[in-house]
Structure 1
Amino acid sequence: IPATPPTFVSDLKNKTVTEGESVTLECHISGHPQPTVTWYREDYKIESSMDFQITFKAGLARLVIREAFAEDSGRFTCTATNKAGSVSTSLEEVSGEPIPPFFIRKPMQFGPAHFECRLTPIGDPTMVVEWLHDGKPLEAANRLRMINEFGYCSLDYGVAYSRDSGVITCRATNKYGTDHTSATLIVKDEKSLVEESQLPEGRRGLQRIEELERMAHEGIYYKNFVRLI
């Protein structure tokens, strides 16, 4: 079979994506013998890595960018080469659209003093997440545990005291802006028994507290509960 130079059956297409999202660039290539494929960002060769996954199977050349950020914007080129020739296709820009933090789920809690919420964009290296009590920053300590991973944010109180009552705020900041979300923690007396309810009306909350107090007197220990307002 005579050698034929590489040909792009389909070219790269320009793309715009939200910052932090995965993006896939692909094109179809024919040619004999099978071409070797090289990817470039501007004039720099891209090597396969955790952040950039390169594959070429059955004529489909693909580059997957695990997370796209604004600094990834630029010209991406795919070059196919065999002994009969070489050909390239480019897209002008892959831009991570800059977005400020946004809480897609507000703090929720059912059980011990534990707050959690969901945040976007995911994987933003400029993102700073803080927890505050009545506007004052909280710091991780023996009885406070904070997690911020892949858009999941949580705050755990190992033990809650009456002085911990107040407005608990999660605040996220990146170079494009700030967002925050809050809930109210009420710790009742030294036993750390609090009401858990999002319903302001009446009897359900009162009956719940009375039930918990009855159980506590009967020797059933409830560490703490949370009311979100």
Structure 2
Amino acid sequence: MEFGLNIILVIFLWLNCQVNRAQGVQTYPLQTLENSHPIDITIPDVLKLNSGEDISIPCNTSNTEPVTTTWNYKTGVFPRNVHQLGKNLVITSADHSDSGIYLCHVNSSSQVTYKLLEIIVDESTISSATSLVPPKATLLDHKTVLFGENVTVTCHVTGSPLPTIVWLFNDRLIKDANTVEDGNKLHIHSSLKEDGVFTCVAKSVAGEDRAQTNIYVVGVMPIIDFLSDSMYVLTGSSVSFRCHASGIPKPNIFWYFIGVNGEVGFPESNYQISSDHSVLTIHSARQSGTVWCIARNAYGATNEKAYLWIRLPDLVG
């Protein structure tokens, strides 16, 4: 009996550790994505090309350690005559469709950084009468959202000509099928599952400005809504326990059984757990003990117990 109590104590300590660790994830302050020694990327802010011109634009950095360089195009796929070769962005026979915002993204073992390049093919497409006003971007300081809910982030921009907006999440260009850009708004549909920093970059021939906002994602610790009552069954019977739990995100359910003799679990062939883990079925139950349902997600864990008592068949005299 003392051995069984020790097993129960171990499980309780494990659960408390899981709860504390998960709650700790929720309460740590979000760190901004700034580095004490940022990588300098040497590409121009704006590059003006003539139609038919060929050019290779290197993305050079000041970093002495090995880096990975990736070029991205704001709208996703490069125009047909643009490609990356090594660390260079190569444009062959430039035409107006190549105009737009390109991003050089540099990863090292210690940090991530990027720089935007605006390419303009045939400058005549910009009216000489346009007065240049540097871009200004503004975002709300921060926002707290529920795990997995729809989120809209609005970037207020000014400038002349009207700046192009580029969105980044944790310093990476956003490429998510569940994320839609609509003017100065970014709509995130049920895909935001972690804290992070959203950056709005407003860029035009008049300059560039950036604004950042922290998005904090919160969840709900699991609650066990239902667990089957304790059961008193005849030895050798089949018995099922049900457990339903709620929380955000949806919690995972785990089952444990501790026999009165201190043994943990059953022979593998003697029990079955449903595909959604909500039902534990014990085949040919022959040992009394405690059935534990444990519900856990990233924000905590909780548990409930029920008892299984086994009785022998009545003797016939």
Q: TM-score, normalised by structure 2?
A: 0.40
- Would the aligned equivalents of 2:258 and 2:290 in 1 still touch at CA under 8 Å? yes
Alpha-carbon shift at residue 174 of structure 1 (Å)? 7.1
Alpha-carbon shift at residue 14 of structure 1 (Å)? 0.9
- 2:279 maps to a residue whose letter is L
Instruction: Summarize the Cα distance change of 1:54–1:178 in structure 2 as closer, same or farther, 3 Å threshold.
Output: closer
How does 1:19-30 map onto structure 2 within 5 Å?
A: 20-22=147-149, 24-29=151-156
Distance in 2 between residues matched to 1:11 and 1:35, nearest whole Å: 15
Distance in 2 between residues matched to 1:165 and 1:76, nearest whole Å: 55
Instruction: Summarize the Cα distance change of 1:78–1:96 in structure 2 as closer, same or farther, 3 Å threshold.
Output: same
- Would the aligned equivalents of 1:6 and 1:29 in 2 still touch at CA under 8 Å? no
After superposition, the CA RMSD in angstroms is 4.4
1:16 aligns with 2:144: yes
- Would the aligned equivalents of 1:106 and 1:182 in 2 still touch at CA under 8 Å? no
Aligned match of 1:129: 254
Aligned match of 2:281: 157
- 1:87 maps to a residue whose letter is D
Provide the aligned length of Structure 1 versus Structure 2: 172
Alpha-carbon shift at residue 24 of structure 1 (Å)? 2.2
- 2:144 maps to a residue whose letter is T
Aligned match of 1:105: 225
- Would the aligned equivalents of 1:108 and 1:117 in 2 still touch at CA under 8 Å? no
Distance in 2 between residues matched to 1:27 and 1:140, nearest whole Å: 57
Deviations 1:55-111 (A, max 9, x none): 212442234573534xx35x43222334454332211x3334587x532413148x9
Distance in 2 between residues matched to 1:189 and 1:57, nearest whole Å: 70
Alpha-carbon shift at residue 15 of structure 1 (Å)? 2.0
- Would the aligned equivalents of 2:242 and 2:279 in 1 still touch at CA under 8 Å? yes
Aligned match of 1:200: none
Instruction: Summarize the Cα distance change of 1:158–1:176 in structure 2 as closer, same or farther, 3 Å threshold.
Output: closer
- 2:167 maps to a residue whose letter is T
Aligned match of 1:54: 179
Aligned match of 2:166: 37
Distance in 2 between residues matched to 1:118 and 1:155, nearest whole Å: 12
Instruction: Summarize the Cα distance change of 1:59–1:133 in structure 2 as closer, same or farther, 3 Å threshold.
Output: same
Of 276, 288, 306, 1:183 maps to 306
Alpha-carbon shift at residue 118 of structure 1 (Å)? 0.8
Of 244, 247, 270, 1:117 maps to 244
- Would the aligned equivalents of 1:130 and 1:137 in 2 still touch at CA under 8 Å? no
1:68 aligns with 2:196: no
Instruction: Summarize the Cα distance change of 1:113–1:104 in structure 2 as closer, same or farther, 3 Å threshold.
Output: closer
- Would the aligned equivalents of 2:201 and 2:208 in 1 still touch at CA under 8 Å? yes
- Would the aligned equivalents of 1:103 and 1:181 in 2 still touch at CA under 8 Å? no
Of 277, 280, 294, 1:171 maps to 294
Aligned match of 2:211: 89
- 1:117 maps to a residue whose letter is H
Q: TM-score, normalised by structure 1?
A: 0.51
Instruction: Summarize the Cα distance change of 1:58–1:67 in structure 2 as closer, same or farther, 3 Å threshold.
Output: closer
Instruction: Summarize the Cα distance change of 1:96–1:86 in structure 2 as closer, same or farther, 3 Å threshold.
Output: same
Alpha-carbon shift at residue 157 of structure 1 (Å)? 1.3
Alpha-carbon shift at residue 169 of structure 1 (Å)? 0.9
> Share of identical aligned residues, percent?
16
Instruction: Summarize the Cα distance change of 1:146–1:90 in structure 2 as closer, same or farther, 3 Å threshold.
Output: same
- Would the aligned equivalents of 1:6 and 1:30 in 2 still touch at CA under 8 Å? yes
Q: Secondary structure in 2 aligned to 1:12?
A: coil
Instruction: Summarize the Cα distance change of 1:35–1:97 in structure 2 as closer, same or farther, 3 Å threshold.
Output: same
Alpha-carbon shift at residue 167 of structure 1 (Å)? 2.8
What are the ranges of 5 or more consecutive residues in structure 2 without an aligned counterpart?
1-125, 230-237
Instruction: Summarize the Cα distance change of 1:165–1:119 in structure 2 as closer, same or farther, 3 Å threshold.
Output: farther
